[in-house]
Amino acid sequence: MWIVCHTQLFDRALQQYDKLRKREAFLEQFRKETMFKDNLEELDHSREVVQELVDEYQAATRPDYLSWGMDQVNHLYLTTIHSVPSAVNPLALEMDI
């Protein structure tokens, strides 16, 4: 029950953020700050983090939750192994990459 309530709360916050961002409402206040002077990427990244939280909350209600997201983790792991030279990455030598 509490997961549903939290998911709805965060969903609503995302919807409100999207509306404000689309209208560029209140953004002048952020642009006055040094970290937002050139762009608003930090705000957009924060929105992505909240969306990931909602996605995980929703996944936690499903029976396959324990394997949820493993494709992304496996892809990230394999991408990392392939991008690190074998001299630095002993796993690359073991896996004959």
CATH code of the domain in which 17 resides: 1.10.287.600
Q: Are residues 96 and 77 in the same domain?
A: yes
Establish if 66 belongs to a structural domain: no
pLDDT surpassing 60 at residue 1? no
Token pair in block for residue 34 = 């040094």
Which backbone phi and psi does 26 adopt, to 5 degrees? 65, 5
pLDDT surpassing 80 at residue 74? no
pTM of the model: 0.65
**Distance separating alpha carbons of residues 21 and 44, to the nearest angstrom:** 9
Q: Are 57 and 46 in contact (CB under 8 A)?
A: no
Q: Summarize the confidence of residues 10-31 as an average pLDDT.
A: 95
Q: Are 56 and 67 in contact (CB under 8 A)?
A: no
**Distance separating alpha carbons of residues 54 and 64, to the nearest angstrom:** 16
Give the range of the structural domain holding residue 83, as residue numbers without chain letter.
71-97
